[in-house]
């Protein structure tokens, strides 16, 4: 998979794309990341990428030319082009699973008040990572990258671990325990040390359901 990031702040990505699972996925040759500063594609002699809104009002608007020019340069087969914006569809695990099968993804990160509306003609999806407003789309694109890349076969050493993750099963994940058996008076449930795999499975399903009912009953509606 090739992931392209159209951004005004490529330096923000360094720590995230060069650490942990995302770095390992790149080392394994499963994914490659391409950072594109769309200021380099401005047609303005001062490299301006924003301008005042027609009709007046607060804030600046991202001009179309730098984004269109940068997209012409990427020129890859059938990319999923994702515009990060608070007005987009809410990001979720199902969307991450769908995107993890793509060959080419382009993330467009805005700044300022908004995008010139014509930029929307370039995109296949508009996505929000939650009902709050960030300064720019960079953190949103990194959040999405993390959720997507760990689902690509071969990225995680233990495939089963993401299949059992919260949301993948339609429920929140069951509680976990590790050694010691007792810590500060808190004991590991007997069933987990019983060695009876059927009982352990039943306990985990029951705990998953209980946790989902308590914390996210909306998930059970689906």
* Residues of the shown chain interacting with ligand SAM in the complex, contacts defined by CB under 6 A: 84-87, 109-111, 113-114, 128-130, 132-137, 140
Give the shortest CB-109-to-ligand SAM separation in angstroms: 5
Give the shortest CB-110-to-ligand SAM separation in angstroms: 3
**DSSP letter for each residue of 88-145:** EEEP-HHHHHHHTT-SEEEEE---SSEE-GGGGGG-SEEEESSSS--SSSHHHHHHHH
- Annotated binding residues, as ranges? 110, 129-134
Whether the CB-CB separation of 158 and 29 falls below 8 Å is answered with no
- Annotated binding residues for S-adenosyl-L-methionine, as ranges? 110, 129-134
Q: Which is nearer to ligand SAM, 70 or 155 (CB)?
A: 70
Active site residue 113: yes
Active site residue 181: no
Q: Among 126, 165, 173, 207, which one carries the catalytic annotation? A: 165
Give the shortest CB-82-to-ligand SAM separation in angstroms: 9
Active site residue 150: yes
User: In terms of residues, how long is the chain?
Assistant: 222
Distance of alpha carbon 129 from alpha carbon 141, whole angstroms: 9
What would the two tokens of residue 31 be?
């994914």
Whether the CB-CB separation of 96 and 125 falls below 8 Å is answered with no
Helix axes 138-149, 20-27, angle to 10 degrees: 60
Burial (CB count within 10 angstroms: exposed 0-12, middle 13-18, buried 19+), residue 212 = buried
Q: Which is nearer to ligand SAM, 41 or 115 (CB)?
A: 115
Q: Among 65, 97, 98, 113, which one carries the catalytic annotation? A: 113
Q: Which is nearer to ligand SAM, 140 or 151 (CB)?
A: 140
Active site residue 24: no
Give the shortest CB-186-to-ligand SAM separation in angstroms: 38
Q: Which residue is nearest to ligand SAM (CB)?
A: 110
Backbone angles phi, psi at 105, to 5 degrees: -125, 140
Distance of alpha carbon 162 from alpha carbon 159, whole angstroms: 6
Q: Among 65, 86, 173, 207, which one carries the catalytic annotation? A: 86
Q: Which is nearer to ligand SAM, 57 or 189 (CB)?
A: 57
Known catalytic residues? Answer: 86, 113, 150, 165
């Amino acid at each position: 998979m090739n992931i392209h990031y159209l951004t005004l702040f490529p330096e923000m990505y360094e720590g995230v794309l060069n650490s942990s699972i995302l770095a390992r996925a790149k080392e394994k040759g499963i994914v490659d990341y391409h950072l594109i500063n769309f200021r380099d594609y401005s047609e303005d002699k001062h490299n301006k990428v924003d301008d005042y809104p027609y009709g007046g009002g607060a804030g600046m608007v991202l001009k179309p030319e730098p984004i269109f020019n940068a997209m012409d340069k990427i020129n890859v087969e059938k990319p999923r082009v994702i515009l990060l914006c608070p007005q987009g569809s809410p990001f979720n695990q199902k969307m991450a699973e769908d995107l993890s099968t793509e060959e080419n993804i382009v993330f467009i990160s805005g700044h300022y008040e908004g995008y010139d509306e014509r930029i929307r003609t370039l995109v296949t999806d508009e996505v929000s990572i939650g009902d709050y407003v960030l300064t720019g789309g960079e953190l949103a694109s990194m959040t999405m990258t993390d959720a997507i890349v760990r689902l690509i076969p071969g990225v995680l050493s233990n495939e089963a671990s993401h299949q059992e993750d919260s949301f993948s099963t339609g429920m929140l994940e069951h509680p976990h325990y590790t050694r010691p058996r007792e810590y500060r008076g808190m004991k590991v449930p007997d069933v987990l040390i019983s060695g009876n795999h059927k009982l352990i499975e039943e306990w985990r399903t029951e705990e998953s359901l209980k946790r989902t009912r308590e914390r996210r009953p909306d998930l059970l509606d689906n």
